[in-house]
């Protein structure tokens, strides 16, 4: 999937300045993918408001993008720029297998997200997927993603063209079987999921933008809920569109190359393949940007995280859990101080009342002599 499958000695040499551009472009998307998806995972972990079923699936999607950025991109850069595999025979099947596994993980997580939204919006009276069921779904996605590309693990090896250089390829006894396997892999991780995604989001879009709006024009509460759902669905549709557009050119050139291998020997064949491969790999860095751009909750979480970083000396709290722990520590102290103040006020009031009572007792204890006769001029 990530190699040209062409002999290094037959492929045209890539100029040095083009190699520098390729390295810079791959390095940029690697840094953005690792940093952006790492931030997404942290935000969902740190803030309880983001502990929802769609966001747990987003974390799984971010994990697949992280694997893509760490296994697919770096090894592919070095192997394609050097035009041979320098990492040894043991790493060849492992790297190719993890690359294909990450692609399946990405595609099936998108499908799971669309199914979850389909149930919630198109069939609102059915039972929704719970948090516990979500973890079972994620586990099933990992099992499928690890199982389907197992032939790559057993068929990948280094094909040497000289005593010192070789390429990491899938070696099949028959080219027909190799072509069939490549076609099955593309169907299972790209064409099949894309068809399911188009169907599910078409039904979801109809229910949100057409059906519900017609019946809820006068209901402000339901309109607000519909707007929130629209924002979520717009974000997921954008993620799916980027996935489909980024991977389509690479699959097209791979299918054409399997039928007509001579295209890789053309003057601009390797450069064209690198451009399409870079476009496919760049999909791993777009999703975090889409989340921050289109999701108010992710923007708020990022804003809080940045505030925490800038005011680290003021507040050691890292998350809402730490804030709640801090509140639980501070509140008893505040309540104790309030009780002390109330006790002091009550004591002062008692002393003041006691002083007045003493004065009243003194007044009552005195003897006032009244005259027996009252003289008058009349």
Q: Are 246 and 282 in contact (CB under 8 A)?
A: yes
Tokens at residue 209, please? 């933008």
> Could you give the percent of the chain with pLDDT greater than 90?
35
CA distance 113 to 141: 12
Token pair 């005259």 in the structure block, residue: 371
In degrees, rounded to 5, the angle at the alpha carbon of residue 148 between the alpha carbons of residues 143 and 152 is: 125
Residue 222 — very low, low, confident or very high, per pLDDT cuts 50/70/90?
Answer: low
Q: How many C-beta atoms lie closer than 10 Å to residue 160's C-beta?
A: 14
Tell me the range of 171-180, 314-323, 352-361 where mean pLDDT is highest.
Answer: 171-180
Res 286: pLDDT: 93
Instruction: Quote the distance between the C-alpha of residue 336 and its chain's center.
Output: 43
Residue 315 reports pLDDT greater than 60: no
CA distance 372 to 378: 18
Res 323: pLDDT: 44
Go through the chain and tell me how many residues it has: 378
Q: What is the pLDDT of residues 37-53, one digit of tens each?
A: 999 999 999 888 889 99
Of residues 89 and 347, more confidently modeled: 89
CA distance 197 to 213: 23
Q: How many C-beta atoms lie closer than 10 Å to residue 168's C-beta?
A: 25
Tokens at residue 22, please? 């390729």
CA distance 289 to 60: 16
Q: Are 166 and 9 in contact (CB under 8 A)?
A: no
Mean pLDDT of 135-159: 93
Helix (H) or strand (E) holding 64: helix 53-67
Residue 256 reports pLDDT greater than 80: yes
DSSP states of 243-260 as a string?
A: HHHHHHHHHHHHHHHHH-
Q: What are the domain boundaries of the chain? A: 16-310, 317-362
Q: What is the pLDDT of residues 151-205, one digit of tens each?
A: 999 988 888 876 557 888 888 888 788 888 888 999 999 999 999 999 999 998 8
Q: What is the mean pLDDT of the chain?
A: 80
φ, ψ of residue 13 to 5 degrees: the values are -75, 135
Q: Which of 187-201, 249-263, 311-325 has the lowest mean pLDDT?
A: 311-325
Angle between helices 53-67 and 269-294 (to 10 degrees): 150
The model's pTM is 0.76
Residue 144 — very low, low, confident or very high, per pLDDT cuts 50/70/90?
Answer: very high
CATH code that applies to domain 16-310: 1.20.1070.10
Q: What is the pLDDT of residues 325-337, one digit of tens each?
A: 544 444 455 556 6
According to DSSP, the residues that pair with 159 across neighbouring strands are 167
Q: Which of 9-13, 51-55, 181-185, 278-282 has the lowest mean pLDDT?
A: 9-13
């Amino acid at each position: 999937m990530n190699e040209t499958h062409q002999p290094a000695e037959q492929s045209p040499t890539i100029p040095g300045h083009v190699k520098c551009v390729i390295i810079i472009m791959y390095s940029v998307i690697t840094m953005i993918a690792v940093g952006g998806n790492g931030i997404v995972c942290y935000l969902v972990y740190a803030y309880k408001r983001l502990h929802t079923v769609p966001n747990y699936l987003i974390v799984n999607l971010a994990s697949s993008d992280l694997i893509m950025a760490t296994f697919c991109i770096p090894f592919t850069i070095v192997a394609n720029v050097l035009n041979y595999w320098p990492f040894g025979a043991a790493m060849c099947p492992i790297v190719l297998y993890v690359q294909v596994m990450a692609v399946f993980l990405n595609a099936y997580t998108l499908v799971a997200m669309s199914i979850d939204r389909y149930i919630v919006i198109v069939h609102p009276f059915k039972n929704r997927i719970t948090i516990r069921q979500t973890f079972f779904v994620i586990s099933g996605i990992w099992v499928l993603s690890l199982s389907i590309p197992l032939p790559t693990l057993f068929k990948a090896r280094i094909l040497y063209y000289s005593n010192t250089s070789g390429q990491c390829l899938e070696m099949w006894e028959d080219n027909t079987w190799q072509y069939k396997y490549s076609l099955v892999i593309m169907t299972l991780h790209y064409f099949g999921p894309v068809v399911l995604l188009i169907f599910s989001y078409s039904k979801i879009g109809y229910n949100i933008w057409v059906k519900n709006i017609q019946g809820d024009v006068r209901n402000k509460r339901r309109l607000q809920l519909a707007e929130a759902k629209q924002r979520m669905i717009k974000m997921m549709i954008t993620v799916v569109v980027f996935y489909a557009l980024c991977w389509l050119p690479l699959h097209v050139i791979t299918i054409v190359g399997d039928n007509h291998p001579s295209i890789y020997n053309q003057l601009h064949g390797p450069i064209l393949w690198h451009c399409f491969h870079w476009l496919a790999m760049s999909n791993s860095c777009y999703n975090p940007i889409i989340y921050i751009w289109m999701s108010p909750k992710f923007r708020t979480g990022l804003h809080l995280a940045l505030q925490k970083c800038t005011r680290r000396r003021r507040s050691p709290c890292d998350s809402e859990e730490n804030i709640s722990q801090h509140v639980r520590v501070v509140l008893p102290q505040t309540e104790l101080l309030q009780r002390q103040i109330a006790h002091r006020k009550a004591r002062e009031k008692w002393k003041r009342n006691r002083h007045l009572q003493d004065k009243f007792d003194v007044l009552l204890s005195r003897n006032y002599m009244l005259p027996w006769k009252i003289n008058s001029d009349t």
